[in-house]
Structure 1
Amino acid sequence: MPTAARPSALHRMRFVGADTGKSSILTLFPVWSQMLGLDAELLPLDIPIGAPAGRFRDAVTAMRSDGQCVGALVTTHKISLYAAARDLFDEVDPFGTECGEVSSIAFRDGRTLGAAKDPITAGLSLREFLSDNHFADGAQVLCLGAGGAGTAIGWYLAQRRDAPSRLTFVDTAADRLDHLAAVVAPHATRSTLETLRPDEVDISARLGALPSGSVVINATGMGKERPGSPVPGSAVFPADAVVWDLNYRGSLEFLVHARTQEQDRRLTVVDGWRYFIHGWTQVIAEVFGIPMPPERVEELAAAADGLRR
């Protein structure tokens, strides 16, 4: 007797990125959907880095026309999608408008709603490993990468009560640096904001000059979407530094480099797993219109930890 086909899910959520097939969310989402009672499936949608604006507009239009699609999480292309398709949204939240990005798309009551969850995700993640007065003794921030995640991190850090004395961002693209400066500068009233291209700074020397306890971040995508690290292999991290790689999967050269110095330099080394958890739970809450209190996030995180890949 043939096995009955499993009914298709009532709702469909899209995952827009450049290399979604290796993400742990493809394993986690069915479990989370059941735990949250969503009756939903997740379908990846890969768009190449550097794709023309029309690809992003077509993606939003197709999702909006799909009666089962309730929304999407956008990674990698958050700024590009916003720039290309802003006019296709009926509403974008204040974070999205200010940061010029969309990481969450929700289709509700015939309207297309955009939101930028990275500033919230950055804050939730950073508060887990930085004390409330971490920067009080002069620690600085060096963030390698000035895309959507880097911009959101800068936005959050500039507004902390103990704002870092200096926020430095390094990126290969001048337009991303200009965008970040436009978003972060109005809030960096107690920090010196510096934006540089790699050919304008000696990363090894800059790391060596950072005060003890400084925070060094890999927000470039290197080590995940493409192999490599933004830090030379001979570079030495500052003593007592917090080293945060936003990646949790891939070749992870930056993370491996930091862990080789973890004991000798007394580093706090953090990968991107909790950033991933917070990012997805915040967007799922937005897309499906459900509450996501801290205790629910921890329940979902506990289930995810056992399925991490």
Structure 2
Amino acid sequence: MAVIDTSARAIVDGTYRTRPLNSGGDADDILEGITAAARALGTDHGRQWAVAVPGPFDFVEGIAQYSDVGKFDALYGIDLRARLAAALAANAVSFTFVNDADAFALGEHAAGAARGLSRFCCVTLGTGVGSGWVVDGERTDGAAPGGELHLLEFEGQRIEARMSRRAIRAAYARRTRLAAAVPDVREIADLARSGDPVAREVLEDAFSYLGRALADPLSRFEAEALIVGGTIARSWDLLEPPLSAGLGRPGLPVIRAELSHEAPMIGAACAAEGALLDSQVF
């Protein structure tokens, strides 16, 4: 969490706060974790709150719709706007909820790798495939169902069946016949750099597949560039070549995101900027 100066498109120095949050905990624990971090920001801000959250979520009403998604399931059906407003003694209308992938894309447009672009797609690669589509600084659904690339099917399966943390680890386990102690993606990337042919093939397969899957949506959207962020993008040396080859569009820039934790906070603030006075809190 942080106080955001929306005119500077930046976190106000000294205001960034982070706390561990157990996404598998009960509702009270999750909400207390969020509100405790918010209280730590003090009161020297505009008392407008932008909250970047993953879907499924009713962003207009502020109601969580998580069910069997593996995180925040305990929040299902809870009115987060009402609960957070009560806990923080805030006005309920001061809360704006923004999809976290959209917020990341908007943050990159405001202060990161997408500055100056008018039409682009931003994907975040980690647990799954997040996506944000931006035209002239506003989020759109782009060329994916509801704007969500993870709902897109390609070559007979959902994208995340081949390109996600779970899928990459499972592919490595199958090819090496590991039944336990399967390395995480970062460790698989290290193995690939050290000459492990299976690790390199697994990553190349996943990233090339993603490129092929994105080729048509990006073409239909007439994207100027593809921005790539998330934890898996840290292995850029292994990611970019097969991804670009899979896209098959040499003239389309594939750009690594410049921001990390700042992007969704700045982006959420930008999405809610019409309701702001001097600053925005995420």
TM-score (norm: length of structure 2): 0.42
**What TM-score, normalized by structure 1, do the two folds share?**
0.39
Q: Which has the higher contact order (CA 8 A, sep 6+)?
A: 2
